[in-house]
Amino acid sequence: MADLLDQPGIRVRRAPLEPLHVLHCDPDDAEALGAELGVTLPTAPLRAGDGAGPRALHLAPDEWLLVGWRGEAALTRPHALVEVSSRSLTLEIEGEHAVALLSAGCPLDLELMPVGAATRTLLGAVQVTLERQRHCFRMQYWRSFDSYVTGFLQAAASDLPAPVAS
């Protein structure tokens, strides 16, 4: 897919669609349910699992977002598993100015956001789910906000503050 943005230090492109499911359950049941699903559910808050295959983002005490998991599961403990593959769109933002770009609209301290962290936050007026991976930020948002989010990033990219000590 064509890049939404490609300029020195910044590249923004759409990520291919992947199966997405929201899993809610009692945190005490998370380990057992994860085993039944075949996905490791991180227990630390606001962390994403890593490794190949499906992974889970721990977004709230009783909530995980499963990325790339597909299939049926006979689960033995109380839970809610809801498919949301069509709900969102995902962008990948990479480059040395990625933090500066996102900081136009995201109030979190992204410089200190570690690789492997994931959280719900804001980009301007829109709620997004932001995950920091080794090479990029992945940002997910509900699809009806697409024109706002892409317009916001394009506007922000043209007016980034100069890097420090450059």
Partner 1 sequence: MRLSTGGRVDRARPVSFSFDGRPMTGFAGDTLASALLANGVHLVGRSFKYHRPRGVFGAGVEEPNALVGVDRGEGRWEPNQRATTVPLYEGLTARSQNAWPSLRFDVGALNDLAAPLIPAGFYYKTFMHPRRAWEKLYEPLIRRAAGLGTAPTEPDPDRYAQHWAHAELLIVGSGPAGLAAAMAAAPSGRRVILCDLDEELGGSLLSRPDAVIDGRPAWEWLESALATLCAAPNVRLLPRTTAFAYGIDNLVSLAERLTDHRPPAAATGARERLWQVRAGQVVIASGAHERPLVFPGNDRPGVMLASAAETYIRRYGVLPGKRVVVLVAHESGLRAAEAARAVGAEVKVVDLREEPAPEATRGRLRISGVKLRSGWEPCDLLLMAGGWTPALHLFSQSRGTVAWSEERQIFLPGESAQPETSVGGCNGTFGLDDCLAEGWAAGGDTGPRPSAEPGASGPSSPLARPDSADGRAFVDFQNDVTAKDIRLAVREGFRSVEHIKRYTTTGMATDQGRTSNINALAIASDALDRPVPAIGLTTFRAPYTPVTFGTMAAMTRGPLFDPVRTTPIHDWAVAQGAVFEDVGQWKRARYFPRAGEDMHTAVARECLAVRAGAGLFDASTLGKIEVVGPDAAEFLHRMYVNAFLKLGVGKCRYGVLCREDGFVFDDGVIGRIAEDRFHVTTTTGGAAGVLHMMEDYRQTEFPELKVWLTSTTEEWATIALQGPRARDILSPLVEGIDLDPESFPHMALKLGRVAGAPTRLWRVSFTGELGFEINVPSIHGRAVWEAVWEAGQRFGITAYGTETMHVLRAEKGYIIVGQDTDGTVTPFDAGLGWAVGKTKRDFVGKRSLERPAMLRADRKQLVGLDLPDGATVPEEGAQIVDPAEPTRAIGHVTSAYASACLGRPIAMAMVRGGRERIGPVAIAGEGAPVPARVCGTVFIDPEGARLSG
Binding footprint of partner 1 on the chain (CB under 8 A): 17, 22, 24-26, 62-63, 78-88, 100, 103-109, 111-112, 124-126, 142-145, 147-148, 151-152, 155-156, 158-161, 164-165
Residue with Cβ nearer partner 1 (43 or 154): 154
Residue with Cβ nearer partner 1 (62 or 94): 62
CB of 128 to partner 1, least distance (A): 12
User: CA dihedral defined by 114, 119, 123, 125, rounded to 10 degrees?
Assistant: -160
Token pair for residue 53?
Answer: 């295959």
CB 16 within 8 A of CB 28: no
Long-range contacts of 49-57 (CB under 8 A, 24+ apart): 50/116, 56/23, 57/118, 57/129, 57/131
CB of 51 to partner 1, least distance (A): 25
Q: What is the β-pairing status of strands 126-132 and 137-142?
A: antiparallel
Residue with Cβ nearer partner 1 (50 or 125): 125
Q: Which of 62, 142, 152, 146 is nearest to 101 (CA)?
A: 152
What is the edge-to-edge ordering of all strands in the sheet holding 55-60? 55-60, 63-67, 20-25, 79-83
CB of 111 to partner 1, least distance (A): 7
CB of 136 to partner 1, least distance (A): 19
Residue with Cβ nearer partner 1 (53 or 78): 78
Residue with Cβ nearer partner 1 (38 or 151): 151
CB of 102 to partner 1, least distance (A): 9
